[in-house]
Structure 1
Amino acid sequence: MPDLLTSGHIVDVALLIVAAEAGYLALWRRGPGRTALLINLASGACLMLALRLVLAGAPGFWLAAALAGAGAAHVADLWLRLRSAAP
Structure 2
Amino acid sequence: MLAAEFAWLVTRGSWRASDAAFRLLPGALMLLATRGALTGASWPWIALPLLASFPVHLLDLRRR
Partner of 1:44, secondary structure, is helix
Aligned residues: 63
Q: TM-score, normalised by structure 1?
A: 0.59
Counterpart check, 1:61 vs 2:31: no
Q: TM-score, normalised by structure 2?
A: 0.76
Contact kept in structure 2, 1:25 and 1:38, CA below 8 Å: no
Deviation, structure 1 residue 55: 0.4
- What is the correspondence of 1:26-65 to structure 2 with a 5 Å cutoff? 28=11, 33-34=15-16, 35-65=18-48
Backbone CA RMSD of aligned residues: 2.1
In the alignment, structure 1 segments of 5+ residues that lack a partner are: 1-16, 82-87
Flag as ranges the 4+ runs of structure 1 deviating above 2 A: 19-22, 25-31
Percent identity (aligned): 33
Partner of 1:57, secondary structure, is coil
In the alignment, structure 2 segments of 5+ residues that lack a partner are: none
Bigger radius of gyration: 1
Deviation, structure 1 residue 78: 0.9
Deviation, structure 1 residue 28: 3.9
